[in-house]
Amino acid sequence: MSTTSPTACHPYFKLRSKIPAAAAAAPATWSVPALCAAYQWPTKQKGGGVIGIVELGGGWTPADVAAYFASIKQPLPKITDVSVDGTTNSPGQSDADMEVALDIQVSAAAYYVATGKPATIRMYWSQDIASAVAKAAADGCDVCSISWGADEADWGVPAATQMEATAQAATAKGMTVFAAAGDNDSSDGGPNASNVDVPAACPHVIACGGTSKTRTAETVWNNDPGKTSGEGTGGGYSRDFKPIPAWQKGAPKPPAGRGRMVPDVAANADPNTGYEIIVGGQPQVVGGTSAVAPLYAGLFAAFGTKAGFVDPELWAHPKCFTDITVGNNGAYKALVGPDPCTGLGAPIGDKIAAVVVKPAAAMA
């Protein structure tokens, strides 16, 4: 497959750094097991789902994996590297190591909490997201996590359309695809106050937005209030994928000339309330919507069923999520019901399991 991803694609992680100097106390951070418990993760799930993770750079080391899973008292996941186009696991060469560690550690830890079993992960190394997704689907992966992307305008319509076709084909094979919605508020770092990220904007991808979650509250993640381009969750309406999908029931009407709303779902992404991981032998606290995609991927892999294109099912059951009604991402404000900040909201894991594993038992 020819390369379609723009060279501007980058990972969506943020280091914990924006604690005001005058703050009386920094917010508490999260271990993955503690965050899963807060999100009412199911347990004793069948498991067996294979997690595919797309990486365009960076690398991981067995030492970091061993140290991390020892720190949270979980067994080691089984990790296999797959080179799609000659790109390889290359730790120690770029900051993208932070992304790779986040993807592995969050997805595998979330999977174990739900199953009590070690995860099976396949790492797809490529310079092209679509090619990696296609390979993961061909290999039979049950879920795919993508923490890289770029503003819709950087892709252009032909490449974005091909990315969507690849995602649609992958979901037809039963693979569920998750992608980070971006970490630069509503502008997505693009030319206007409101842009969306690809591949998250592709209708056959579950777009993952971000919240700021403390032990007592959860709001839209936005560390630069008053700005449309800052450190906070991406979200908005696509210019390329129109009209808004019929299954996005309850979503606000898009502006003229726009369609598909991003994100679909959300979870903790604020680096100030971030995820405790290990990179380069050192503990780190990391956030970003790139933590949200592997969190959901670990959960869905735990179900042991090929859910495929599950977005319509999730949108049909909004009670599987905690509605986030406070905050904004620049151009858009949180609303009662779905909105282009956090979509349906934060996960209620056991309720999602009831819908995805046993659709007939879906909530009224």
Q: Is the pLDDT of residue 255 over 60?
A: yes
Q: What pLDDT score does 17 carry?
A: 67
- The total of other beta-carbon atoms located within 10 Å of residue 258's CB is 20
User: Residue 272 belongs to a domain with what CATH number?
Assistant: 3.40.50.200
CB 269 within 8 A of CB 288: yes
Specify if 327 maps to a domain: yes
Specify if 270 maps to a domain: yes
Task: Measure the CA–CA gap between 13 and 189, rounded to whole angstroms.
Answer: 14
**pLDDT tens figures, 43-56:** 999 999 999 999 99
Q: What pLDDT score does 3 carry?
A: 61
CB 77 within 8 A of CB 121: yes
Q: Which of 55, 64, 97, 103 is catalytic?
A: 103
**pLDDT tens figures, 10-44:** 898 888 865 444 455 667 999 999 999 999 999 99
Q: Which of 55, 64, 97, 99 is catalytic?
A: 99
Q: Is the pLDDT of residue 301 over 50?
A: yes
Q: Is the pLDDT of residue 362 over 90?
A: no
Task: Measure the CA–CA gap between 288 and 298, rounded to whole angstroms.
Answer: 17
CA dihedral 229, 230, 235, 240 (to 10 degrees): 40
Q: What pLDDT score does 13 carry?
A: 87
63: Cα within 13 Å, side-chain hemisphere = 7
Specify if 134 maps to a domain: yes
Specify if 2 maps to a domain: no
Averaged pLDDT for residues 227-255:
97
**pLDDT tens figures, 119-159:** 999 999 999 999 999 999 999 999 999 999 999 999 999 99
Q: What pLDDT score does 154 carry?
A: 94
Q: What pLDDT score does 5 carry?
A: 83
Q: How many domains does the chain have?
A: 1
pLDDT grade for 309, boundaries at 50, 70 and 90: very high
Q: Which residues of 174-191 are buried (b: 16+ CB within 10 A; e: fewer)?
A: bbbbbbbbbbbbbbbbbe
pLDDT grade for 1, boundaries at 50, 70 and 90: very low
- Which distant-in-sequence residues (6+ apart) come within 8 Å of 101 by Cβ? 60, 64, 68, 277, 278, 279, 284
99 is catalytic: yes
Q: What pLDDT score does 155 carry?
A: 95
SS3 95: coil
Averaged pLDDT for residues 252-276:
97
Question: What value does the CA radius of gyration of the chain take, rounded to a whole number of Å?
Answer: 18
Contacts by residues 156-160 (CB-CB < 8 Å, ≥ 24 positions apart)? 156/6, 157/240, 158/4, 159/4, 159/5, 159/6, 159/198, 160/198, 160/201, 160/202, 160/240, 160/241
SS3 61: coil
Q: What is the pTM of this model?
A: 0.95
With DSSP H G I counted as helix, E B as strand and the rest as coil, what are the percentages for the chain, rounded to 5? Answer: 30, 20, 50
**pLDDT tens figures, 177-217:** 999 999 999 999 998 999 999 999 999 999 999 999 999 99
Q: Is the pLDDT of residue 361 over 50?
A: no
- Domain ranges, residue 276: 25-357
Averaged pLDDT for residues 83-98:
95
142 is catalytic: no
Q: What pLDDT score does 364 carry?
A: 35
Q: Which of 238, 290, 323, 339 is catalytic?
A: 290
145 is catalytic: no
CA-nearest of 320, 214, 319 to 268 is 214
310: Cα within 13 Å, side-chain hemisphere = 28
Secondary structure of 286-350 in HEC code, one letter for each residue:
EECHHHHHHHHHHHHHHCCCCCCCCHHHHHCCHHHEECCCCCECCCCECCCCCECCCECCEECHH
Averaged pLDDT for residues 287-315:
97
Specify if 364 maps to a domain: no
DSSP 13-29: -EES----TT-SSPPP-
Q: What pLDDT score does 312 carry?
A: 97
Q: What pLDDT score does 212 carry?
A: 98
Specify if 50 maps to a domain: yes
User: What is the largest distance, in Å, between two alpha-carbon atoms of the chain?
Assistant: 53
CA-nearest of 117, 142, 120 to 44 is 117
Specify if 62 maps to a domain: yes
Average pLDDT, the chain: 94
Q: How many helices (H) and strands (E) does the chain have?
A: 9, 18
CA-nearest of 72, 200, 69, 90 to 146 is 200
Q: What pLDDT score does 72 carry?
A: 98
Specify if 156 maps to a domain: yes
Residue carrying the six token digits 């405790």: 276
CB 150 within 8 A of CB 201: no
Q: Which residues of 22-32 are buried (b: 16+ CB within 10 A; e: fewer)?
A: eeeeebebbeb
Averaged pLDDT for residues 83-96:
94
Q: What pLDDT score does 214 carry?
A: 97
337: Cα within 13 Å, side-chain hemisphere = 7
